[in-house]
């Protein structure tokens, strides 16, 4: 398995004008590492921490852990969440509003495999990668993920070594390069995912160590709800199925370590950057939920693999010259079938509205929704004599009557909302000023978006979706738990400060002083 070989190798938001560097700048690290665990909720360190023995244990017990960290915006999805991590800015500034308005780009086809083209063409502004290169053009940058958006968006528009998984291979698009590097071709030739064909995902520890039940019929659409979970017997099917198993993380970590070795990250006097986005927790969480035996086993396996990765990386780059940050792009809701909350949907409302518009004007005007935000071509509406403001208000009144709805904004309502209105604040930080829209809907606690059972999700402004893990391992800084509220927008400015560089533009994130100066750490 790949991990075995790994172990063997051992703008409109009141943006701050500047980020203040520490009075006594620390010695810059040789390597800064961002680990993003897709859907790693903010309570998981406490909930599962006693069972961790590897890499997650290291972050939880040896790092500075920020217990009240958040994705500080509405539409808590993978694309906007990843875009916050190294930009120091919210989705309203980065332009990355939602997954489907993220990285898909037919003008940037993939290299060597079939699949949707991808690029950062929608991303606006700069990230830590740009700030490091502005001081040192020789800065080496590597980003690896199972998902295209997980690899691309932390880096922004920078041309770098950015790779993601598609159809059994890690690849990139023509946005970045004309062909894959030799080291990655060699890795792909080993066909790591194919080796799982016919094998099974079994519990990694004795069943007595899993308090969660293993037979909840509402999980995974009622299919394969108990261990073991068997991989298909044929190679192509297995290469697809691996993305919803823990082994997606094993493959990603293995590629990341191979890339560090090939690119010689962290071997210079300057600071290099490594981003590893791990997506298996999200896939398992959607299918089986945050309260499942599958989710626990996924995290236990990730804990072990991440520990092996940290040990192997330390053999290449001295641990005392490496800084690590671990965070997540969003959280997740529990299954409503467990007895709390429910699923809300705008599908029927929008279907009826599209039908009315089609009959009256011969067009549906692109009416669609994304985690409660209803989008439309407002320019085309006006051209047909339809007032977007009037339509928005009609939709808002209808949406307010739907089960699970907490609050509804139109553009006019959002502009008039008080600054102390928390829901309004989160939507303002989510929606770029150039984005046309009609209504933005917030849900009641424990409610999620969805049209039916079979999986659980995220995307709301509720704490279970916004609250994410954030921990920093920096040599010389003692373990601590910091209880003040922070955001993922703080990560980029903090790593910039540690590297002795400044953001290349105004940012909303603040330097986490507890990481810069051990004396500032709250316990």
| Residue 521 predicted with pLDDT over 80 | no
What pLDDT does residue 8 have?
Answer: 37
Query: For the chain, what is the radius of gyration of the CA atoms?
Result: 23
Answer yes or no: are the C-beta atoms of 287 and 229 closer than 8 Å. no
What pLDDT does residue 462 have?
Answer: 98
Residue 151 CB neighbour total at 10 angstroms: 31
Determine the CATH number of domain 342-444. 3.30.1360.150
What pLDDT does residue 1 have?
Answer: 44
User: Which is nearest to 92 in space by CA: 491, 428, 493?
Assistant: 428
Helix (H, G, I), strand (E, B) or coil at 385: coil
pLDDT band at 4 (very low <50, low <70, confident <90, very high): very low
pLDDT band at 177 (very low <50, low <70, confident <90, very high): very high
Tell me the domain boundaries of the chain: 2-337+462-520, 342-444
| Residue 520 predicted with pLDDT over 80 | no
User: Which 3-state string (H, E, C) describes 233-277?
Assistant: CCHHHHHHHHHHCCHHHHHHHHHHHHHHHHHCCCCCCCCEEEEEE
Cα four-point dihedral sign 310, 473, 273, 151: positive
User: Which is nearest to 103 in space by CA: 86, 116, 84, 88?
Assistant: 116
End-to-end CA distance of the chain: 41
Determine the distance from the C-alpha atom of residue 386 to the mean position of all C-alpha atoms in its chain, rounded to a whole number: 37
pLDDT tens-place string over residues 279-291: 999 999 999 999 9
Q: What is the mean pLDDT of residues 21-26?
A: 49
Whats the size of the chain, residue-wise?
A: 523
What pLDDT does residue 215 have?
Answer: 86
| Residue 158 predicted with pLDDT over 60 | yes
Mean pLDDT of the residues in the chain: 94
Answer yes or no: are the C-beta atoms of 451 and 347 closer than 8 Å. yes
DSSP 282: H
CATH 3.40.720.10 fits 2-337+462-520, yes or no: yes
Cα(259)–Cα(275) distance, rounded to whole angstroms?
11
| Residue 361 predicted with pLDDT over 90 | yes
Cα(182)–Cα(196) distance, rounded to whole angstroms?
24
Q: What is the mean pLDDT of residues 108-120?
A: 96
pLDDT tens-place string over residues 375-391: 999 999 999 999 999 99
pLDDT band at 518 (very low <50, low <70, confident <90, very high): low
Which residue in the block uniquely carries the two structure tokens 């068997």? 230
Cα(316)–Cα(134) distance, rounded to whole angstroms?
26
Geometric angle at alpha carbon 463, from 369 and 286, rounded to 5°: 60
Which residue in the block uniquely carries the two structure tokens 């009416």? 367
Q: What is the mean pLDDT of residues 455-480?
A: 97
Q: Which helix (H) or strand (E) holds 369?
A: strand 368-370
For residue 228, whether the previous peptide bond is cis, meaning omega lies within 30 degrees of 0, is: yes
What pLDDT does residue 27 have?
Answer: 82
Output the six-digit token pair for 179.
């062909």
What pLDDT does residue 22 have?
Answer: 45
Phi, psi angle pair for 130, to nearest 5°: -70, -40
The torsion angle over the Cα atoms of residues 238, 39, 148 and 488, rounded to 10 degrees, is -160
Q: What is the mean pLDDT of residues 454-479?
A: 97
Phi, psi angle pair for 261, to nearest 5°: -65, -45
Task: Give the pairing type, strands 169-171 and 342-344.
Answer: unpaired
User: Which 3-state string (H, E, C) describes 133-147?
Assistant: HHHCCCCCEEEEECC
User: Which is nearest to 94 in space by CA: 122, 54, 124, 127?
Assistant: 124
194: left (phi over 0), alpha (psi -120 to 50) or beta: alpha
| Residue 19 predicted with pLDDT over 90 | no
What pLDDT does residue 3 have?
Answer: 44
- Contacts (Cβ under 8 Å, ≥6 apart) of 470: 42, 65, 66, 69, 325, 326, 327, 486, 488, 491
| Residue 6 predicted with pLDDT over 80 | no
Q: What percent of the chain has pLDDT over 90?
A: 92
Which residue in the block uniquely carries the two structure tokens 């922004």? 156
Helix (H, G, I), strand (E, B) or coil at 327: strand
- Contacts (Cβ under 8 Å, ≥6 apart) of 122: 95, 96, 101, 102, 103
Q: What is the mean pLDDT of residues 101-124?
A: 96
pLDDT tens-place string over residues 190-237: 999 999 999 999 999 999 999 999 989 999 999 999 999 999 999 999
Cα(418)–Cα(304) distance, rounded to whole angstroms?
47
Cα(277)–Cα(251) distance, rounded to whole angstroms?
11
Q: What is the mean pLDDT of residues 23-37?
A: 84
Phi, psi angle pair for 353, to nearest 5°: -70, -40
User: Which is nearest to 367 in space by CA: 377, 382, 379, 358?
Assistant: 377
pLDDT tens-place string over residues 49-100: 999 999 999 999 999 999 999 999 999 999 999 999 999 999 999 999 999 9
User: Which is nearest to 492 in space by CA: 512, 474, 516?
Assistant: 512
């Amino acid at each position: 398995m790949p991990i075995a070989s790994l172990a063997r190798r051992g703008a409109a938001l009141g943006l701050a004008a500047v980020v203040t560097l520490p009075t006594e700048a620390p010695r810059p690290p040789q390597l800064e590492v961002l680990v993003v665990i897709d859907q790693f909720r903010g309570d998981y360190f406490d909930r599962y921490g006693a069972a961790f023995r590897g890499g997650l244990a290291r972050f939880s017990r040896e790092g500075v852990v920020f217990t009240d960290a958040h994705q500080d915006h509405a539409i808590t999805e993978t694309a906007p969440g990843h875009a916050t991590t190294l930009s120091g800015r919210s989705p309203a500034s980065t332009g990355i509003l939602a997954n489907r308005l993220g990285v898909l780009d037919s003008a940037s086809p993939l290299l060597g495999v079939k699949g949707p083209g991808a690029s950062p063409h929608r991303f606006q502004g700069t990230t830590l990668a740009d700030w490091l290169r502005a001081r040192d053009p020789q800065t080496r940058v590597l980003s690896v993920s199972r998902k295209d958006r997980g690899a691309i968006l932390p880096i922004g528009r920078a041309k770098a070594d950015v790779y993601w998984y598609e159809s059994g291979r890690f690849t990139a698009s023509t946005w970045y390069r004309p062909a894959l590097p030799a080291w990655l071709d060699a890795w792909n030739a080993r066909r790591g995912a194919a080796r799982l064909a016919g094998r099974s995902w079994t519990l990694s520890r004795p069943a007595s160590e899993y308090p969660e039940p293993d037979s909840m019929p509402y999980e995974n659409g009622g299919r394969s709800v108990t261990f073991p979970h068997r991989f298909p017997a044929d190679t192509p099917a297995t290469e697809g199925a691996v993305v919803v198993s823990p082994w997606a993380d094993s493959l990603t970590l293995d590629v990341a370590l191979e890339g560090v070795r090939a690119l010689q990250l962290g071997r210079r006097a300057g600071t290099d950057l490594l981003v590893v986005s791990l997506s298996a927790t999200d896939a398992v969480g959607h299918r089986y939920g945050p309260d499942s035996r599958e989710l626990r086993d996924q995290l236990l396996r990730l804990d072990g693999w991440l520990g092996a990765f940290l040990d192997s990386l330390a053999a290449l780059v001295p641990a005392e010259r490496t800084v690590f940050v671990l965070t997540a792009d969003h959280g997740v809701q529990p299954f409503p079938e467990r007895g709390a909350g429910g699923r809300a949907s705008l599908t029927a409302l929008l279907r009826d509205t599209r039908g009315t518009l089609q009959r009256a004007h011969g067009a549906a005007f692109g009416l669609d929704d994304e985690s409660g935000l209803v989008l439309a071509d407002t320019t085309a509406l006006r051209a047909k004599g339809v007032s977007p403001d009037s339509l928005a208000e009609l939709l808002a009144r209808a949406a307010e009557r739907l089960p699970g709805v907490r609050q509804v904004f139109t553009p006019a309502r959002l502009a008039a909302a008080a600054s102390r209105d928390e829901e309004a604040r989160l939507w303002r930080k989510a929606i770029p000023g150039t984005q046309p829209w009609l209504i933005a809907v917030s849900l009641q606690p424990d409610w999620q978006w969805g049209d039916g059972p079979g999986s659980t999700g995220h995307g709301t402004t509720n704490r279970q979706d916004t609250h994410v893990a954030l921990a920093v391992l920096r040599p010389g800084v003692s373990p601590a738990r910091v209880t003040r509220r922070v955001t993922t927008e703080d990560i980029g400015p903090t790593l910039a400060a540690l590297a002795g560089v400044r953001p290349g533009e105004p940012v909303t994130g603040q330097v986490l002083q507890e990481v810069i100066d051990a004396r500032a750490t709250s316990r």
